[in-house]
Amino acid sequence: MTGEESQLEFDLSKYQGIQCLRFDPLNDLTAIEIHQTLVVDENGTSQQVANYQTNSRLQRGNQFWFDHRDPQLILDWQASSKPQRVIFQLTYLAIGNDTYRRALSEMQNLIFLAEAPTIAPPETQIQPSEPAVPRYFAQLFIDMGLGFSEKQSILQPITGEESQLEFDVSGYQEIQRVRFDPLNDLTMLEIEQMLVLDDQGTVHQVQVVDYQTNATYTEQVCLVFETIDPQIVINVQPIPRPLKVIFRVKYLTIGKELYCLLWEMERKKSRQLEEKIWQLEQVIQQQTQVV
């Protein structure tokens, strides 16, 4: 339950040769405060863990804020003896989508981490020799009747300065749907037009009825995605032979900066509301004086 301190204890006695301990506090968005972490060995000696490698987006002291569904903390722990138990004393500050609301209310006090790489055990980490994936990218998935998959997708690096994205889909047959992921992170953007060019040179404009999105908010051409997996699914089945899919866009914010922008928007609304209340109070006061 959120707001209450609790203790989680894991029995490690049946595992041999433990080298690394990774704690995933939840299988969803969450914010936690860790009060104490102890690793107890076979002699009953407790070793306190004070440091962690983490893929949390925001951090303040021992508070960790995760805006994705794979939160991870790797314990900075020396494997000098055989661990029997690991004990976490912690408080869940928020769970699920409530994490966004709590993050906004705490925004003035939170410290942004410069980069929050996904943490993986040493044996599964990507080696430097492998091709680097850009920090931010847009991705177009192509469904030819079997659903969406990474194999049937196209990546484009994103800097946030782009005004038009074009995806060449001429090599795909019998396309039924495409899924446009405008970023691999939180984002707010304007999509002025979504266009599909067919093999006859005709440009088809995608209408609102032709697509679905998991945006948290939409207002005219502006979409706000409070998820690291934003999606826009477009039905292109009526178009006979798509060659290109074109998006005319304007990225208003990318990544963790979305929190700051939303916070400023909320503050602006609050100031406007306060001003209206003050104006009404002045009118009421004047009317009272006249009476």
Residue by residue, DSSP assigns 200-217 as TS-EEEPPGGGEEE--SE
- Both 84 and 163 in a single domain? no
Is pLDDT at 115 greater than 70 in this prediction?
no
- Both 188 and 87 in a single domain? no
- Both 43 and 15 in a single domain? yes
- Per the domain annotation, does 280 fall within a domain? no
- Per the domain annotation, does 264 fall within a domain? no
Average confidence (pLDDT) over 154-159? 93
- pLDDT class for 110, splitting at 50, 70, 90? very low
- Per the domain annotation, does 279 fall within a domain? no
Q: Give the model's pLDDT for residue 286.
A: 81
- Per the domain annotation, does 86 fall within a domain? yes
Q: Which of 124-138, 183-197, 210-224, 268-282 has the highest mean pLDDT?
A: 183-197
Q: Give the model's pLDDT for residue 80.
A: 65
Residue 130: partners with Cβ closer than 8 Å, 6 or more residues away: none
pLDDT: which is higher, 78 or 165:
165
Q: Give the model's pLDDT for residue 131.
A: 53
Q: Give the model's pLDDT for residue 114.
A: 37
- pLDDT class for 240, splitting at 50, 70, 90? confident
Which of 120, 148, 178 delimits the end of a domain? 120
- pLDDT class for 263, splitting at 50, 70, 90? low
- pLDDT class for 39, splitting at 50, 70, 90? very high
Q: Give the model's pLDDT for residue 19.
A: 82
- Per the domain annotation, does 146 fall within a domain? yes
Tally of structural domains, the chain: 2
Q: Which of 221-225, 242-246, 262-266 has the highest mean pLDDT?
A: 242-246
Average confidence (pLDDT) over 205-228? 85
Is pLDDT at 254 greater than 90 in this prediction?
no
This model's pTM is above 0.85: no
- Per the domain annotation, does 273 fall within a domain? no
Rounded to 5 degrees, what angle do the CA atoms 235, 237, 242 make?
Answer: 100
- Per the domain annotation, does 274 fall within a domain? no
- Both 85 and 153 in a single domain? no
Whole domain around residue 142: which residue ranges? 137-257
pLDDT: which is higher, 19 or 84:
84
- Both 141 and 248 in a single domain? yes
Is pLDDT at 105 greater than 70 in this prediction?
no
- Per the domain annotation, does 221 fall within a domain? yes
Q: Which of 8-12, 67-71, 161-165, 248-252 has the lowest mean pLDDT?
A: 67-71
- Both 22 and 56 in a single domain? yes
- pLDDT class for 59, splitting at 50, 70, 90? confident
Residue 91: partners with Cβ closer than 8 Å, 6 or more residues away: 2, 3, 4, 5, 6, 32, 33, 35
- Both 18 and 43 in a single domain? yes
Q: Which of 41-50, 164-173, 207-216 has the highest mean pLDDT?
A: 164-173
- Both 141 and 113 in a single domain? no
Q: Give the model's pLDDT for residue 179.
A: 95
- Both 146 and 106 in a single domain? no
- Both 113 and 10 in a single domain? yes
Kindly report the backbone phi and psi dihedral angles of residue 124, in degrees, each rounded to the nearest multiple of 5, phi listed first: -110, 5
CA distance 80 to 102: 39
Is pLDDT at 243 greater than 80 in this prediction?
yes
CA distance 3 to 183: 33
Residue in 156, 230, 154 with CA at minimum distance from that of residue 191: 230
Is pLDDT at 186 greater than 50 in this prediction?
yes
Rg, the chain, Cα only: 25
- Both 142 and 116 in a single domain? no
- Both 41 and 85 in a single domain? yes
